[in-house]
Every structure is written in C-alpha cells, then in structure tokens.
Amino acid sequence: MSAYANSSLVISNVTSEQPVDPAVEFWEKGVLQLTTDITEGGGIIWQLALSLLVVWIIVYFCVWKGVKWTGKVVYFTAIFPYIILSVLLIRGLTLDGAREGVVYYLKPDLSRLADIQVWIDGGTQVFFSYAVALNQIITFGSYNKFTNNFYRDAILVSCINSGTSLIGGFAVFSVLGFMAKQHNLPIADVANAGPGLAFITYPNAVTQMSISPLWAALFFLMIILLGLDSQFAGVEAVITALMDVFPTLMRRGNRRMYIVGVYCLVSFLLGLSMVSRGGMYIFQLFDYYSASGMVLLWSVFWEVVVIAWVFGADRFYDAIEMMIGSRINPYLHFCWKYLSPVLCMGLLLAKLIMFRPVKYNKTYEYPDWAQGFGVMLALLSMLCIPSYALFKLVTTQGSLVQRWRKMTKPILQKHQIHPRWRVNNTRHV
C-alpha cells in the first residue's frame, strides 16, 4: 500500500509540472546555460566569448580609419537588412494566421491610453529608436558641411526610422499570428518582450515554417547586421568626442587606430561578465538601469534647456537660418522652449514615481546589493551633468553672478555671428 502511495505521489508530481517550451529550454539551458542566481557566475561560456570577440574584431576594422571608412561599410550593413526584412515580411504575410496578427498589431486598445505606463514606454522607446541623447546623431552630423541642409535630413531620417519600425511590426506580428493559430493561443500569450522576442518567440515560429533553416539564417543575419550598425555608431560617438577634446593627441599618426583598439578591447573584457553562465542577470541589470529611459530623459531635458534657455531658442533659430539659408517651421521654436522640456520632465517624474526594481523573467528578484549597483550605474551617468556644471562654476573667475553669466554665454567663431545678434551678448574668438 505504501509503495502504491509513493508511486502515485511521484506520478502526481510529474504531471503537475508545467511543460517547458523547447525554445525556452534551448535558450536558457543550451545557449545561456543560466544559473539560478546572479551570485553564481558559473564560468565563461567559451562559444559566447568567442562570438563576442569576433564581433568586436569586426567592429574595430569597420571604424578604425574614421567615419569615411565606416560610411563605406554601412552601405552594406544598413541596406542589406532592409532586403532581408522585405523577404521576411513577404513570407510572414503568406502564413496562415498572418491576418489575425496584423489586425492585432494595428487595432488599438484605446483603454490603454489611460495607463501612464503606456506613455512612459512609448516616450522612452522613441528616444531609443531615434538615438536621442546618445550622441550618435550629433557625432555624425558634426562631419557635415556648415551649410548642409540638416533640417531636410532630419525629417527624412525620422520618416525612414518610423517607417522601418512600422514595416518591422508587420513582419513580426504576421509571424506571431501564425504561431498563435498553430498553438491555438491568443497572440498576447505568444509575444514576449525584450530578448525573448528575438531569441525565443520568433525563432520558435520559424521552426514551424517550410525551409525553416533559410528563414532562421536570414533573420539572425539581419539581427547581427543591425547590432553591428548600432555598435559602429556607439564607438564612433566616443572616439569623435575624444578627438574633439584632445585633437593634438588623437590626430597624430595612427593614434586613432590605437585608441579604437584599446576601446574595443576594454569593451570586450567588460562584456565577458555577460557571457558567463550568470551573465544574463548582469546584462539585464545594465540594460534596466544604465541604459534606462530615466537616463535618456534626464539627458534630453538638460540638452533642451541648454539650447532653448541658455543658448537661446531665438538665437538657435537664427543659427539654423544661417546654415540652411531659410527659416524653419516656427512650431519647433515652441517645442524647444516649452513642449519638449515639459514632456521630458513629466515622463521622468512619472517614471521615478512608478519605479519598480528589476526582475529577471518577471520571477527572479535581484538581491539588494545588485539593485544598489544598478542604481549607482544610472546615477553615474545622470550626475555627470550637474557635476560638470558645478565644476565650471567653481573654477570660473569672478563673482557668482559673473561666473554664471560667463557660463551661460555661447562662444562662437566670428563667421558664426548672425547680423541681428548683439555682439556684446555673445562671446566669440
């Protein structure tokens, strides 16, 4: 009798366990080899470390000679993903259930507009998508000629960016609709956010298509090229900033190549912590705090304040006229001065009020020391702005009022002085 009871208990325990999705199991146990806690490093996974090394070598040889060399590489890495995306979109729309996925994608749930979290997520996603406050656009724009029509370019880039996101949504949700119909599940239940969408949900759907290896290869090739493009821009932003601050040091001989090599090597070494068996916990900690929307909103707020209230929205408006030869939409003047700073600060305050500590996979709770480390990562970026302002205020000569006036007057070259500006209100060299 006791043997029967024990066997029944075993059978009951086995049948009560939740089934594990093969894609999830492969991702967490095969690829990540994920440990149960952030304190369990578990050692470096050599396959991931080798992949990381190869990627950083590619990045180095694509940016080592400067922006002109990188521009030639980007002709391929930026255009070819559009070809792959078009192929995946056509294939996705031909799948059974694609229509339901597209309808789910396009049909808005107006009740969600009352949820402040939707506005926070949408606002911060726009900042990430347009690379606002990440310095990449400013960096590449600095290589343009003074009279380049960047206003036209900005509108064009914005349209391409939003259009790409829209088309990418069709490609993804058509496949999610197919997967939902295959498993007879609501689409909301098969759509995972974050890395899960790229490495679990979409690949899982691809395996159920005909000629699945082809679609899988195209999809991951597109992901790799998009990641390389983003990394090119990130590295170039840092190197260009160093060249601007230390021009005599960085532009001698082949020093740029050496500096880029050191930067890539240090980045690779830091990345090794994220390709360990507990690396996903570390990655999400950095992603949630250091690359969070709070940091971007804080940076954008001060950028807009400096442009609209320190340099002056009117002076900025005139400067643009000097560069492109015509007056731009006056609505932007209102945005710079009022709308943008109010929206940025409003979203930032809402994000702070609704802040919740990070969880991995919505289940694993990080220890307090890890949460504290994450907050420190965010503060390291955010405190740079007031710290530099305080440093300039302390090191500038004169009374407090004189220091403030010196700090808040723009320094321009003589050829950049607009005729309608009063010279005594603008320092120039």
DSSP 3-state of 179: helix
What is the reported pTM? 0.81
Distance CA 365, CA 242 (A): 39
Residue 395 belongs to some domain of the structure: no
Q: How many residues does the chain have?
A: 429
Q: Kind and range of the H or E element at 4?
A: helix 2-16
| b/e map 13-25, b = 16+ CB within 10 Å | eeeeeeeeeebbe
Residue 333 belongs to some domain of the structure: no
Ordered DSSP codes for 156-222 = HHHHHHHHHHHHHHHHHHHHHHHHHHHHT--HHHH---THHIIIIIHHHHHTTSTTHHHHHHHHHHH
Position of tokens 């325990």? 13
Per-residue pLDDT, 195: 64
Whether residue 428 contacts residue 411, with contact meaning beta carbons closer than 8 Å, is answered with yes
264-308 confidence digits (pLDDT tens): 999 999 999 999 999 999 998 988 888 777 888 898 899 999 989
Distance CA 273, CA 44 (A): 8
Residue 225 belongs to some domain of the structure: yes
pLDDT higher than threshold 70 for residue 424: no
Residue 182 belongs to some domain of the structure: yes
Per-residue pLDDT, 397: 86
Report helix angle 67-93 to 212-245, nearest 10: 150
Give mean pLDDT, residues 193-198.
63
Owning domain of residue 165: 44-275
Residue 257 belongs to some domain of the structure: yes
Per-residue pLDDT, 423: 46
Per-residue pLDDT, 179: 84
What's 355's DSSP letter?
-
Give mean pLDDT, residues 327-350.
90
What's 133's DSSP letter?
T
Whether residue 343 contacts residue 123, with contact meaning beta carbons closer than 8 Å, is answered with yes
33-59 confidence digits (pLDDT tens): 889 889 888 899 999 999 999 999 999
Distance CA 94, CA 355 (A): 41
Strands 411-412 and 364-365, sheet pairing: unpaired
Binned at pLDDT 50, 70 and 90, residue 196 comes out as: low
Residue 366 belongs to some domain of the structure: no
Q: What are the phi and psi torsion angles at 412 (to 5°)? A: -130, 155
104 Cβ partners below 8 Å, 6+ apart? 173, 176, 177, 187, 188
Per-residue pLDDT, 110: 82
Residue 380 belongs to some domain of the structure: no
pLDDT higher than threshold 60 for residue 405: yes
84-143 confidence digits (pLDDT tens): 989 989 988 998 889 999 999 888 788 888 888 788 878 778 888 887 777 888 888 888
Two structure tokens written together for 173: 């949700």
How many separate domains does the chain show?
A: 1
Distance CA 78, CA 73 (A): 9
Residue 351 belongs to some domain of the structure: no
Strands 411-412 and 427-428, sheet pairing: parallel
What's 327's DSSP letter?
-
